[in-house]
Structure 1
Amino acid sequence: MKLNAQQVSSLYGQNVTDRSGSKIGSVGQIWADNAGEPTWVSVKTGVMGRKESMAPLQKAQIAGGALAVDYDKSTVKDAPTVDADTDEPLSTAQVEQLYRHYQLAPQPAPAAPPARERGRAPGAGEDLIRSEERLRVGTESQPAGTARLRKYVVSEDVHTTVPVEHDEVYVEREPISAANARNVNADIGEAEQEMTLRAERPVVRKETVPVERVHLTKDEVVDQRAIDEQVRREQVEADIPERSRRRR
């Protein structure tokens, strides 16, 4: 079946069925031959991985929005594979392997990459390269200040108490009995008695003692800093005459 450009464009992502109508997968990529004719299609079969099975578009038909290939499901799933979303053309070795698998007569190898990215009209000129800026955010270390320890002297009032002793004197009188009177000097005259009294007073001394060891240390702390920046990107607009526009 010969597919036109509009049909090829509509196939991407559509279901692929085998000759009995059983679903195999969905269309991944389409390759064209040297003449620009769609020749091979890759099928996403749903198997885990990044590989897509290849199938020929020869005798394929579009029916009910799906692409029906003229092979059974197991043949397509066992076919040689390509990387998913590849944009590389098929090599000669890949094409020969596909022809052997599907038992097809060899034809010139398709040199064009997937049809979705080809189809340039003659005289179209050089490609436009669209560029854009990407924001790359990193960090750099820089001085953020100096930390110092400084020791200085302050005075503070201290209030405390200390017990002190002192002597107090009082007069004690003891009567003399008649039995003891003969042993006591009873002369009348002047006399005196002295007693030394003692009293404590507070005495203050000062001594210097070490009480604490102080030094500087640091920890690295990670914070999240919001970055607001503008980046530029290019856009490409097509100015196509109305009559030359593709009808969808």
Structure 2
Amino acid sequence: MPLDGARLSGDRLEVPYAKSQVRKAPHVDVDDDLSPGQEEELYRYYGRAAGNDRPAGDTDRNTDTTSDTVTDAGRDDTRDRSGDNAMTRSEERLVADTRTERAGTARLRKYVVTEEQQVTVPVTREEVTLDREPITDANAGNALDGPAITESEHEVTLHAERPVVDTEAVPVERVRLGKQTVTDEETVSGEVRKEQIDLDGPEDRNRSNR
């Protein structure tokens, strides 16, 4: 930038241009010398004629800006004015937290299924037996009662049990919904910014402190 109107205050160079105006100035590599064309472009941008200490155009365009401090090719160092010749280097850190979101719902649903079961049931039945007994004094009367020779029949009714299957509903258990908290670990990532401080000097131009 043109240095007419600039003054040195301690270690700061105060110029009559706004910070925003300096930031938008045509870019020039600080390691190279100005070419005549670049010099003319800068003079034109700041409204001054090349080699002239007076504004070439409107003199009101840069008023009320003498209090701005611009150093190191337009970098704003207003936050490092503690007077101890030190810069504060800051960086961002990831701060992780949690929030509770609805993850879903659960419900109890009862339905009927049919399955095959087997049970063992004891059953009884009657079987016919044939008992023979000799004639004795005790049964002789019954044996001789009736014709001596005759034909006759005698029958016995037999009974048997058959299994009968039926069902009944019986309560077996109670089921209810409950909730429990389970803690897991998840890894999250994000982008953070950090400041870097470079030292430009005659012996070591690009030594950095990170």
TM-score (norm 1): 0.44
- Size of the alignment, in residue pairs? 123
**How far apart, CA to CA, are the structure 2 residues paired with 1:131 and 1:215?**
55
Q: How does 1:96-175 map to 2 (within 5 A)?
A: 122-124=10-12, 126=78, 127=80, 130-175=89-134
The structure 2 residue matched to 1:195, chosen from 156, 166, 185, is 156
Higher strand share goes to which structure?
1
Q: 1:200 Cα shift?
A: 0.5
Please report how far the alpha carbon of residue 186 of structure 1 lies from its aligned counterpart in structure 2 after TM superposition: 4.4
Does residue 121 of structure 2 align to residue 233 of structure 1?
no
Q: Tell me how far apart the structure 1 counterparts of residues 151 and 88 of structure 2 sit (CA, whole Å).
A: 136
Aligned-partner residue type, residue 111 of structure 2: Y
Q: Which runs of 5+ in 1 are unaligned?
A: 1-120, 244-248
TM-score normalized by the length of structure 2: 0.51
1:233, distance to aligned residue in structure 2 (A): 0.4
- Structure-1 separation of matches of 2:160 and 2:12: 121
**Counterparts of 1:63-102 in structure 2 under 5 Å?**
none
Instruction: Select the residue among 135, 138, 143 that pairs with 1:176.
Output: 135
Amino acid at match of 1:162: V
- The secondary structure found in structure 2 opposite 1:159 is coil
Q: How far 1:174 moved relative to its partner? A: 1.5
CA distance in 2, matches of 1:170, 1:123: 134
2:171 equivalent in structure 1: 210
- Cα displacement (A) at 1:160: 2.1
**Relative contact order, CA 8 A, sep 6+: which one is greater?**
2
- CA root-mean-square deviation: 2.6
3-state SS in 2 of match to 1:237: strand
